[in-house]
Amino acid sequence: MSYLEQMRPPQGLKVLVTAGASGIGAVIALAFAEMGAQVMICDVDEAALARCSENQPSIHPVKTDVSDSAAVERMFVQVRSTLGGLDVLVNNAGIAGPTGAIDDLALADIESTLDINLVSQFAIIRQAAPLLRASDTPSIINISSVAGRLGYAMRTPYAASKWAIVGLTNSLAKEMGPDGVRVNAILPGIVEGPRMDKVIQARADSEAVSFEEMRETYLKNISLRRMVKPEDIASMALFLCSPAGGNISGQAISVCGNVETI
């Protein structure tokens, strides 16, 4: 096998991407589809799901609320019937959660953030595990965040969930490694797009500064002084599923331009 071939995921991978209808998830799903994979995406946004499947016929959409365990079970019935198995799980679903001082946050908002960002990953992996163990090329990619290695003032529910994903990843790599299942986490940094703009605006509002000032503050905390693109995250996901990534497991890999603090 040439080095070029080692850098490409195998043809025909069966891939599930959660929250795959927009943002990072949609870019990851499209990247796998362009590499010849059969891809299923789930999301709560029906219109976005329809757009994705129209743009790429090899992407199969299913509406699913990942915080609903019964809905997750129903989704895996479709995974089995549509894909006929599973080689790659990309656990991407997540929300930004509330912004504010810990004593100002509503407990319901904290619980919702943990349910969607963390508990849903447990629910999905529980269903995916038997299918992955039956695969010849099994891989789990959990999407965490640079907040999974740095403290994040005013965003404690989000940061706590992303730190926990790193622990989940490392633990599952040990647990499932003997079955040949590789488990890694990607920690995106500050990713360009509407979602990050909303986060910056919320932080700016909480500190009574302008959006432009807060955006500049974020950039100054990145060694490369630039945000990353969704395509950077998708490229790492493809690499982790390629033969070149075949001995990488249990790792929390930052794709962030070296965010120094947040």
Map out the domains of the chain with their CATH numbers.
3-189+229-255 (3.40.50.720), 190-227 (no CATH)
- Beta bridge partners, 41, equal 17, 61
Alpha-carbon distance of 26 to 184, in angstroms, equals 19
Residue 251 has a pLDDT of: 98
152 tagged catalytic? no
147 token code pair:
């907040």
Q: Please state which of the ranges 87-101, 134-148, 186-200, 218-232 shows the lowest mean pLDDT.
A: 186-200
pLDDT band at 213 (very low <50, low <70, confident <90, very high): very high
pLDDT band at 247 (very low <50, low <70, confident <90, very high): very high
> What are the pLDDT digits (tens) for 45-77?
999 998 887 888 889 999 999 999 999 999 999
Residue 135 has a pLDDT of: 98
| Active-site choice (3, 152, 158, 218) | 158
Alpha-carbon distance of 105 to 201, in angstroms, equals 18
> What are the pLDDT digits (tens) for 125-175?
999 999 999 999 999 999 999 999 998 998 999 999 999 999 999 999 999
Residue 1 has a pLDDT of: 74
